[in-house]
Each structure stands twice: as structure tokens, then as C-alpha cells.
């Protein structure tokens, strides 16, 4: 929990840009938390209602053993019933509004899958 608190205060620029958009509550769109601890992991963003983890991946995620570590993490999260959405940090930096729309669309689609009558329109 302590590490999550530190990470909340020190978001990367792409995480901060995405959080500025995700933290706004919208009718019909599930709410997100930032730097949410789950098991031995800290998720960049998490929506408990639809069990959606959103990870903003910087360049480090494509180097050394990070792809394998991400794969293990994603597998563990999937075993817990959590969907993982990975968004490259460069995509967020290029168009944070579009990245947020992708996250919201994914969340709404998951709500519809679980509760078809919960979201209209």
C-alpha cells in the first residue's frame, strides 16, 4: 500500500495525462482508481466494476526481460478474472483524449458483456 501511495504522487507524464481524463466521473462509465495494489502488483489504473486493469507501457516494457514479466503479470491477472488493456505511453503522449476514449469504450463494453441492460445507448 505504501508503494502505491508513492506511485500515486509520482505518475509518469503519460500516466498523469491519462489520469486527468479517467478521474472525471461520467454517467454510464465505470470509475477508475490509479496505482491500485492487487496481489503483488500495482496496476496503473483499475476499474473494479468490470475488473479492468489499464497499463501504460513505456519503452522499458519492450527491453530485457520486461515482455516476459508483463506476460506473467497478465496471466496472473487473467487467472483472477481481470482483463488487461495495455496502451503504449507514446500513444497517450500523442493523443491522451483518444487513449482515454479507448479505455472508456473498453470499460463500457465490459459492462455490457456482464450486465447487458446496465448501459444504454
In a domain, 121, yes or no: no
Closest CA to 17 of 44, 36, 39, 37: 44
Its pTM stands at 0.82
121 vs 104, residue with greater confidence = 104
CA distance 15 to 6: 14
In a domain, 16, yes or no: yes
Angle of helix 13-22 relative to helix 96-114, nearest 10 degrees, comes to 50
Mean pLDDT for the stretch of residues 9-37: 87
How much of the chain, in percent, has pLDDT values that exceed 70?
Answer: 79
In a domain, 21, yes or no: yes
In a domain, 120, yes or no: no
CA distance 84 to 76: 10
In a domain, 30, yes or no: yes
In a domain, 79, yes or no: yes
Q: Provide the number of structural domains found in the chain.
A: 1
CATH number of domain containing 18: 3.40.960.10
Q: 32 is in which domain, residue-wise?
A: 2-114
What is the pLDDT confidence band of residue 89, given thresholds at 50, 70 and 90? very high
Mean pLDDT, the chain, rounded, equals: 84
In a domain, 119, yes or no: no
Amino acid at each position: 500500500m505504501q508503494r502505491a501511495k508513492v506511485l500515486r504522487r509520482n505518475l509518469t507524464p503519460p500516466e498523469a495525462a491519462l489520469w486527468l481524463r479517467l478521474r472525471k466521473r461520467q454517467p454510464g462509465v465505470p470509475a477508475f482508481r490509479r496505482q491500485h495494489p492487487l496481489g503483488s502488483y500495482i496496476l496503473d489504473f483499475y476499474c473494479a466494476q468490470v475488473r479492468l486493469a489499464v497499463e501504460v507501457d513505456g519503452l522499458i516494457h519492450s527491453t530485457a526481460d520486461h515482455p516476459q514479466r508483463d506476460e506473467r503479470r497478465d496471466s496472473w491477472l487473467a487467472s483472477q478474472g481481470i482483463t488487461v488493456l495495455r496502451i503504449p505511453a507514446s500513444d497517450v503522449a500523442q493523443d491522451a483524449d483518444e487513449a482515454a476514449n479507448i479505455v472508456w469504450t473498453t470499460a463500457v463494453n465490459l459492462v455490457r458483456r456482464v450486465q447487458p441492460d446496465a448501459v444504454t445507448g
